[in-house]
Structure 1
Amino acid sequence: MEGFAALATEPAAWAALATLVAMEVVLGIDNLIFISILSNKLPEQHRVRARRVGIGLALGLRLLLLASVAWIVQLTQPVVSAFGHGFSWRDMILIAGGLFLVWKATKEIHHNIDPVPNDDLFDTRTVGIGFAAAIGQIIMLDLVFSIDSIITAVGMTDNIAIMVIAVVVAVGVMLFAATPLSNFIGQNPTVVMLALAFLMLIGTTLIAEGFGAHVPKGYIYAAMAFSAAVETLNIFARRRQARSAPPVDARDAR
């Protein structure tokens, strides 16, 4: 209750909350891109359910980790040394999650550029996936992103109430944006490749951080935002060209 009281009496607490909400929303983008790509590979009737389950698990994991902040802090303590570097549990989790993301993105890129015969080049439906398998992969990445998110929150404030509010707001934004983002990715096949490239970049960043190389998040997200802006312009250009193209006469087609 003291944490909530601070929000009513201390302007600094509101500033910390706004900063942390923004940070959590940005960190949640990685999680949301993965959930969107994976859910789009399911049959259409299961996609919304998979997104809701995945985002709900993300919220549950974050709140569970917040309830064990003392344990979370211990995850940053080195437990094993190799190659002259001490690795903590957080480092090993980030490396494992990064490797999984790189493997998953590479696999999806391969299936998109080398589809089965008689399928469209960028048709992501060519590679099916079961609901349980999708949820299992979402849980794995939810855990990685949740630990990174909570450790970031702990480093910014020691007010548990502020952390809880920030996490709930960020996950609410994810839930609101999940379906529009997934639909946009599904309707624009080239965006799938861009999103997979983002996952490859995020996975590489996680591996680097696990090995102790700090990569400023601002650089990563700035590059992603620039690429997304360029692709958006390309989409508008293609749509304008499609509207201005003269109709094809069936006799000319023959």
Structure 2
Amino acid sequence: MDILFTPNALIALLTLTFLEIILGIDNIVFLSIVSGKLEEKDQPKARRIGLLLAMLFRIILLFGITWVLNLQDTLYSIDWGFFSAHITGQSLIIFAGGLFLLYKSVSEIHHKMEGEEESEKGKSTNSLVAAIMQIALLNIVFSFDSILTAVGLVSMKEPAQGGFGYEGALIIMILAVIISIIIMMIFAGPVSKFVNNHPTIQILGLSFLILIGVMLIAEGSHLAHFRFGDDIEVSSIPKGYLYFSIFFSLFVEFLNIKMKKNSSKPVKLKNNKIVDKELTDSDVLN
């Protein structure tokens, strides 16, 4: 335990906590979109359960870090001449998560833009259980990405070799996960309210999820060593480029919202449970 109070350990904890929060942004966006379709009284519960599941999955994976690392072993190899790959368990999970995120994001954009009402198909509002299942499914993928980043950052070498040792590194990673989830819980409510009250932010957030889905598919393909011919191998997309584009787009949209705040009321998307109280019935129908 003494090693946890060294300057290197504290720096590693702060750095890893910051990275966990950054990597959790896509999780909060997804939580906001999914919980926004629930009744207003169920939305805080969905966010809390979603973030607690994220923390639980990450801690479980940290205790099973040996199993997680073994998922990098090749399960099946393909060699068709023009295409070759070495499929691993990790690549399958990341690739499937990217496909799910693409499907969910595109379908949500379709429902919001086309205005396809649930009642037209005889369906009721999304249940809390269905929302939590979607959140849990995607949390598994996000947890793998988060844990692999943590393992790459915190050295498990013995202190004599410049590391923190297995137990020291494990404690640092668990503390970083717990602290980051607590911080995200504090800000998840205001972020979700802001996202659900501004339709342009919702569409922007869904576009970010599409971008993250493409990144996961590229990363899964890279982990599976997808190769076309002798020279072309699929590479992963650097996360720095992705998050820079997200923050830059949000900054521009915040400026846009501030400029238009006093000039006009925002357009309300279909299937959104939060309705501006100042709108009249005729405004809602229109």
TM-score normalised according to structure 1 size: 0.87
Quote the offset at 1:87 in angstroms. 2.0
Q: Is the contact made by 2:195 and 2:201 (CA closer than 8 Å) also made in structure 1? A: yes
What is the CA distance between 1:61 and its match in structure 2? 0.7
Match of 1:229 in 2: 251
Kindly indicate whether the alpha-carbon contact (under 8 Å) linking 1:7 and 1:14 is maintained by their aligned counterparts in 2: yes
* Code of the aligned partner of 2:202: V
**Rounded Cα–Cα distance in structure 1 between residues aligned with 2:52 and 2:37:** 19
Partner in structure 2 of residue 184 of structure 1 = 194
* Aligned residue identity for 1:114: E
Provide the rounded CA distance (Å) in 1 between the counterparts of 2:22 and 2:74.
Answer: 27
**Identity of aligned pairs, percent?**
42
Deviations 1:54-110 (A, max 9, x none): 111111111111111111111122212234121211111011000000000000111
2:92 is the counterpart of 1:92: yes
> How many angstroms does 1:170 deviate by?
1.1
Partner-residue secondary structure (3-state), 1:44 = coil
Instruction: List aligned pairs for 1:1-254, cutoff 5 A.
Output: 4-8=1-5, 10-82=6-78, 83-116=83-116, 128-157=125-154, 158=156, 159-212=169-222, 213-242=235-264
- Specify the alignment match of 2:232 in structure 1: none
Q: CA contact under 8 A between 1:41 and 1:127: conserved in structure 2?
A: no
- How much has 1:127 moved relative to structure 2? 8.6
Partners of 1:144 and 1:33 lie apart in 2 by 15
Structure 2 unaligned residues grouped into runs of 5+: 118-122, 157-168, 223-234, 266-286
Aligned AA for 1:171?
I
CA contact (8 A) 1:35 1:138 kept: yes
More helix, by proportion: 1
Q: Distance in 1 between matches of 2:261 and 2:214?
A: 33
Separation (CA, whole Å) in 2 of partners of 1:111 and 1:86: 37
Q: Is the 8 A contact 2:32 2:196 kept in 1?
A: no
Greater CA deviation, 15-24 or 96-105? Answer: 15-24
In structure 2, relative to structure 1, the CA distance for the partners of 1:95 and 1:127 (3 Å cut) is: farther
Corresponding residue SS for 1:45: coil
- Say if 1:115 and 1:161 are closer, same or farther in 2 by CA, change over 3 A: same
| Paired amino acid for 1:209 | E
Quick one: distance in 2 between partners of 1:81 and 1:241?
A: 59
Opposite residue 111 of structure 2, the aligned amino acid is H
The two structures have a TM-score, normalised by structure 2, of: 0.78
Which stretches of structure 1, 4 residues or more, deviate above 6 A after TM superposition? Answer: none
Alignment partner, residue 251 of structure 1: none
Give the Å deviation of 1:130.
1.4
Give the Cα separation in 2 of the matches to 1:18 and 1:110.
Answer: 40
Give the whole-Å Cα distance in 2 for the aligned partners of 1:160 and 1:92: 26
Given that 1:205 and 1:215 are in contact with CA atoms closer than 8 Å, whether structure 2 keeps it comes out as yes
